[in-house]
């Protein structure tokens, strides 16, 4: 099945467009994140220039953007270096100066020839009681008829100016074909949406500020198309996955019963309910694809361990994949004392296992001697073969892409998949990332956990904070001190952590340790072990400790420059304390003055510990920019969808996609054919691959 011919114009290279050459093409590709004409058409305007005010010079109001028809009278180059270049112009009512800084005389004389009649546009200023425009736009000769009264403004990048982008966009709109309609006709009529090619044209010709509202008919239509492509891809994946025969597992076997009896605590109602849902899936002959969404400290790991017993009781293996080496080792150390007494053989495989040691481990995985394999993404490398993998558990799924969860589930026949995340995700985000999964929620904390007191401190009071910590450390308190996110640079993050470490080391001597992402795995392990054992009282860290690190004795979390972190990330970090029976505290250090959004964000953290509420607030405050803190591979990068505004459209698209799969899972009908065009347009390669594979 090849790409529909009708899409060819949209898949052409940007070089096809007027104004895009070899030199500028790379700038364009960097700006729009793609190479196709369609990628440029998806580059949405963010504002307008209104040139409709066309007064004579004498009537032009100061402070307004005016479009004037003038005659060039003379040029006055600067007499001193810091003075501007002036071009004097007139109309029948008065004179005006056009002012330029750092101008080249030859270029000025060529652009503004003396005696020429030109249409110019810019903001009117009054300088020494005389009107002027600084750096006006030249709209063409006075006979130009096609000056747009309203002009869209786009995000730009170095190497591309406004004029070049407008020229390329105008050219791109000429390539926009009329595509077959993939929308359900009744729904399209109800929503009063026009055709796709008309929506694209309207997107690029905004007439007022209202046109930038995500809920205009134009933007809704384009967002829904993208939502439908996304949801249909996930629905096809789910359909394909479910079609493959699964295995019916024993769900209350001997190992499961033994482990349940040996637990030193009682399971919460939410844990029991989630296990019921997992058991129901695993007991059937269809493959499980389930998301276990639990707030920080809600006990996902033990639900995972009990689920793995179903596979082991049915003489199959289980794999448990974590996003970092620290977390994989920690799961291994945490589960070993629970599982070894039951005679279960578990191994840990990460990037650090080399040579003979790695060969032994891969052999044990291949011959089935290793019943449970815990590891990082090393688990889905081609060299790792399982004897009979039955259950794949993926922890902190938002750190992995959909591709990676498929790779691991393809390591066996009919593998059940349980995906876990401790990052509560707003429902709309959950739909886009996990629309192919059933969802179980852990929304209660294990008994005995005390609430964490969250306090806001200005960085001016950092000395008082350190003095307070001295008193706490004398009482054997254990403290995390998380250093600020510095831009998008891991090297700068490390520098910030090292500086804080040196300051704290001068006070606390050898009771302070440092951990960051650029350290070798065994160095991190050594520091972590000392902190767990209590040899270190304070652990200075970058955000490597964000996910899953479990030291119940740690009761104080200090987050420096807290205003730089997203809400979800602050919530994750705070969740590293309050894991034992002792009272815990989280100090959010901020640098004044705070922006309105930062103030709201920190207030929400102080007022609630409900991760699901926090994630919804995060989406409201930050928009869909990047709610999970850093750019996450598990989430699609949308062109038209605004997740904060288009949640309902995503839900409708999900229902639509389900119906499509029920009626026409191979997309063979007339609408199905148009939907194939939609999938190609948004490069939903996985869905297309499934359709080709049958």
Q: What is the CATH number of the domain that holds 582?
A: 3.40.50.300
- Residues 470 and 573 placed together within one structural domain of the fold: yes
| Model confidence at 402: pLDDT above 70 | no
CA-CA distance, 689 to 518, in Å (whole number)? 38
Tell me if residue 119 falls in helix, strand or coil.
strand
Quick one: tokens of 108?
A: 């000025």
pLDDT of 625 strictly over 50: no
Choice among 29-43, 231-245, 277-291, 356-370 with the minimum mean pLDDT: 231-245
- Say how many domains are in the chain: 5
What H or E segment, with its residue span, contains residue 225?
helix 217-243
State in Å, rounded, how far the first CA of the chain is from the last one.
Answer: 11
pLDDT at 330 over 90: no
What is the average pLDDT across 25-47? 93
Q: Which of 124, 147, 170 is the last residue of a domain?
A: 147
Instruction: Verify that 390 and 509 share a domain, yes or no.
Output: no
Same domain, 57 and 42: no
The domain in which residue 489 lies consists of 452-608
Q: What is the pLDDT of residue 644?
A: 77
Q: Work out the percent of the chain whose per-residue pLDDT is above 90.
A: 57
Residue 466 counted as domain residue: yes
- Supply the pLDDT for residue 298: 84
Q: Is residue 447 in a domain?
A: no
Per the domain annotation, does 642 fall within a domain?
no
For residue 539, being part of any structural domain is answered with yes
Residue 276, domain member (yes or no): yes
User: Would you say residue 317 lies in a domain?
Assistant: yes
Domain end residue (candidates: 441, 476, 496): 441
Cross-strand pairs, 87: 75, 98
Phi first, then psi, for residue 668 (nearest 5°) are -100, -15
User: Do 305 and 430 belong together in one domain?
Assistant: yes
Do 68 and 40 sit in the same domain of this protein? no
Q: Is residue 393 part of a domain?
A: yes
Residue 258: band (very low, low, confident or very high) from pLDDT cuts 50, 70, 90: very high
Indicate whether 393 and 522 sit together in one domain.
no
Domain end position, chosen among 403, 420, 441 = 441
pLDDT value, residue 630: 35
Identify whether 14 is part of a domain.
yes
Per DSSP, 210 falls in state G
Residue 120 shares a structural domain with residue 14 = no
Element (H, E) at 39: helix 37-41
- Mark whether 395 and 262 lie in a shared domain: yes
- The answer to whether residues 231 and 319 belong to one domain is no
Question: Are 236 and 314 in a shared domain?
Answer: no
143 has pLDDT over 70: no
What confidence score (pLDDT) does residue 632 get? Answer: 41
pLDDT, residue 265, reads: 87
CB 14 within 8 A of CB 36: yes
pLDDT at 478 over 90: yes
> Percent of the chain beyond pLDDT 70?
91
Residue 510 has pLDDT above 80, yes or no: yes
Ramachandran assignment for 430, one of left (phi > 0), alpha (psi -120 to 50 degrees), beta (any other): alpha
Q: Are residues 239 and 258 in the same domain?
A: no
Residue 260 shares a structural domain with residue 348: yes
- Measured N-to-C along each axis, helices 402-409 and 217-243 cross at an angle, to the nearest 10 degrees, of 10
Q: pLDDT class for 628, splitting at 50, 70, 90?
A: very low
672 touches 666 (CB < 8 A)? yes
pLDDT at 588 over 80: yes
Rg of the chain's alpha carbons, rounded to an integer?
Answer: 31
């Amino acid at each position: 099945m090849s790409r529909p011919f009708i899409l060819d114009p949209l898949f052409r290279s940007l070089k096809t467009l007027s104004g895009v050459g070899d030199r500028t093409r790379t700038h364009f590709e960097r700006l729009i994140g793609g190479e196709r004409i369609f990628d440029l058409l998806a580059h949405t305007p963010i504002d307008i220039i209104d040139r409709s005010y066309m007064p004579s010079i004498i009537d032009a109001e100061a402070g307004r953007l005016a479009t004037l028809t003038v005659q060039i009278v003379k040029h006055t180059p600067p007499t001193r270096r810091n003075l501007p270049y002036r071009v004097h112009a007139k109309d029948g009512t008065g004179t005006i100066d056009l002012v330029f800084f750092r101008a080249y005389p030859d270029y000025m004389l060529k652009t503004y020839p003396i005696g020429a009649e030109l249409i110019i546009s810019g903001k009117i200023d009054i300088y020494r009681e005389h009107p002027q425009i600084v750096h006006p736009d030249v709209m063409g000769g006075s006979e130009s008829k096609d000056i747009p009264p309203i002009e869209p403004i786009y995000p730009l990048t170095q190497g591309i100016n406004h004029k070049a982008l407008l020229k390329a966009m105008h050219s791109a709109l000429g390539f926009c074909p009329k595509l077959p309609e993939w929308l359900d006709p009744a729904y399209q009529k109800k929503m009063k949406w026009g055709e796709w090619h008309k929506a694209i044209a309207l997107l690029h010709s905004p007439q007022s500020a209202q046109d930038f509202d995500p809920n205009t008919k134009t933007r809704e239509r384009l967002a829904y198309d993208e939502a439908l492509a996304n949801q249909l891809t996930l629905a096809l994946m789910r359909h394909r996955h479910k079609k493959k025969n699964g295995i019916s597992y024993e769900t209350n076997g001997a190992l499961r019963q033994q482990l349940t009896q040996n637990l030193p605590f009682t399971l919460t109602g939410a844990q029991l309910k989630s296990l019921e849902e997992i058991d129901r899936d695993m007991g059937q002959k269809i493959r499980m694809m389930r998301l276990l969404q639990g707030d920080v400290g809600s006990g996902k790991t033990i639900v995972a361990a009990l689920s793995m017993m179903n596979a082991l009781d049915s003489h199959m293996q289980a794999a448990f994949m974590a996003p970092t080496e620290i977390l994989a080792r920690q799961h291994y150390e945490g589960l070993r004392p629970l599982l070894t007494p039951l005679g279960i053989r578990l191994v840990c495989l990460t990037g650090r296992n080399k040579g003979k040691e790695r060969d032994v481990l891969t052999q044990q995985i291949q011959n089935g001697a290793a019943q449970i394999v815990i590891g990082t993404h090393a688990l889905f490398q081609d060299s790792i073969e399982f004897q009979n993998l039955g259950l794949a558990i993926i922890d902190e799924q938002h750190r992995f892409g959909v591709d990676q969860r498929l790779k691991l589930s393809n390591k066996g026949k009919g593998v059940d998949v349980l995906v876990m995340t401790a990052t509560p995700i707003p429902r709309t985000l959950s739909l886009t990332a996990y629309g192919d999964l059933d969802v179980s929620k852990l929304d209660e904390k294990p008994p005995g956990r005390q609430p964490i007191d969250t306090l806001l401190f200005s960085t001016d009071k950092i000395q008082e904070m350190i003095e307070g910590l001295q008193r706490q450390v004398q009482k054997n308190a254990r403290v995390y001190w998380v250093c600020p996110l510095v831009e998008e640079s891991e090297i700068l993050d490390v520098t910030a952590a090292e500086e804080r470490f040196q300051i704290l080391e001068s006070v606390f001597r050898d009771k302070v340790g440092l951990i960051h992402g650029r350290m070798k795995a065994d160095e991190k392990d050594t520091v972590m072990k000392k902190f767990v054992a209590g040899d270190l009282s304070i652990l200075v860290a970058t955000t490597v400790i964000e996910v899953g690190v479990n030291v119940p004795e740690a009761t104080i979390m200090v987050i420096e420059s807290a205003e730089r972190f997203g809400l979800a990330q602050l919530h994750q970090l705070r969740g590293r304390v309050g894991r034992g029976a002792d009272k815990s505290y989280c100090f959010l250090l901020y640098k004044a003055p705070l922006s309105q959004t930062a103030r709201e964000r920190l207030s929400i953290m102080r007022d609630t510990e409900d991760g699901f509420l926090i994630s919804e607030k995060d989406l409201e405050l930050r928009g869909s920019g990047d709610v999970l803190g850093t750019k996450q591979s598990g989430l699609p990068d949308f062109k038209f969808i605004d997740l904060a505004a288009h949640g309902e459209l995503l839900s409708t698209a999900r229902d639509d996609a389900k119906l499509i799969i029920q009626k026409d899972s191979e997309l063979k009908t007339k609408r199905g054919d148009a939907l194939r065009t939609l999938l190609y347009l948004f490069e939903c390669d996985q869905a297309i691959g499934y359709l080709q594979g049958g």
